[in-house]
Amino acid sequence: MIDKFIKSSLFLSAVFISSLLSNCTQNKELNEEAYLFIYFTGNEITDETVHFALSTDGYTFTALNNNSAVLNSKKISKTGGVRDPHILRGENGVFYMALTDMVSSTGWDTNRGLILLKSKDLINWSSSAIHFPARFKNQENLKSVWAPQTIYDNESGKYIIYWSSKYGTKEEVLYYAFVNSDFTDLEGYPTPLFIPKNKAHCIDGDIIIKDDLYYLFYKTSNENGEGIKVATATSLTANKWKEYPNFLQKTDKQVEGSGIFKRNNSTDYILMYDLFQDHGYEFCKSKDLLNFVSTEKKVELNFSPRHGTILPITGKEYDLLLEKWGMQ
């Protein structure tokens, strides 16, 4: 009896240690030493495509594939065009991308869906297009599904897609839904994620987690103007966001498409935003994600991106992308 107990204890200990080692391996910090910028380029249907660019310093980016698309919009979308690409490295090492399914020439209130993509290597992607009127009930007044993004929800252990939508004459606000396990469909029903206290429009949300606190960057407006603000919460889905009053951009120009990423081997976070009327991008930096200053070094691009995101990548991933697509 004692012998069986000892054997059972040893077996359980081995399983526990194996689980710990597996988790340590999975969560081991990657040696990220470069950056991938994904973006689209404009409002013509030939511009509404996914593009890649690379950088080794996070400031100077060079387009891949001669600044041509790396994915075929017609094959992955229902409308024939895609915008606002967002990319996330998942907890399991898989890459998740979300896109607006839209051709802007048909009107700014004509898109009704989004696209989910996943890849293990940043080269080969599977995709699923979700058309909201066909997928969900009561979507007759839906006017837009803009700038979807992905984040892992620590409470549920699931991924969340969040985006901005407009219904009827109401302002655009941020909604969310959980994603199924194979990242091909949404679960549940679109639910409000964040509505500013002043009930103003709210678009282009981007969320990052730091020290168990979620930071939501978004574009909105008030009596003092419009621009990018931040709100914080300990839960993504509890509707308990703390709003901060100041606009964060360091420019008087019109901005949208906020994105946040952490610099490699640094405590600095970069807030990037699209100077959409001036066809450029600007960066500012922060250590606490609340107080931002302009970066000493200006962003340099050999292309003109629109709303996109930047993902830190490893040297190996950099080499694979460069080998596949080549630089401009």
Give SS3 for 211: coil
Listing DSSP states for 230-292 in one string gives: EEEES-SSS--PEE--S---S-SS--EEEEEEEPTTSS-EEEEEEETTTTEEEEEEESSSSS-
Domain ranges of the chain: 33-325
Helix (H) or strand (E) holding 162: strand 158-167
One digit per residue, pLDDT tens: the chain, 328 residues?
Answer: 445 444 444 444 443 334 433 343 333 468 999 999 999 999 999 999 999 999 999 999 999 999 999 999 999 999 999 999 999 999 999 999 999 999 999 999 999 999 999 999 999 999 999 999 999 999 999 999 999 999 999 999 999 999 999 999 999 999 999 999 999 999 999 999 999 999 999 999 999 999 999 999 999 998 889 999 999 999 999 999 999 999 999 999 999 999 999 999 999 999 999 999 988 899 999 999 999 999 999 999 999 999 999 999 999 999 999 999 999 6
Would you say 311 and 35 are in contact if contact means Cβ atoms under 8 Å apart? Answer: yes
The verdict on domain 33-325 having CATH code 1.10.540.10 is no
pLDDT at 279: 84
Cα atoms found within 13 Å of the Cα of residue 62, Cβ hemisphere only:
13
Tokens, residue 178: 């959980």
Bridge partner residues of 40 (DSSP): 306
Joined tokens for residue 74: 């017609």
Q: Is the dihedral of CA 42, 152, 195, 170 positive or negative?
A: positive
Of 32, 30, 44, 34, which is closest to residue 73 (Cα–Cα)? 44
pLDDT value, residue 7: 47
Overall pTM > 0.75: yes
pLDDT on residue 122 = 99
Torsion over CA: 195, 197, 203, 206 (sign): negative
What is the structure's pLDDT at 241? 98
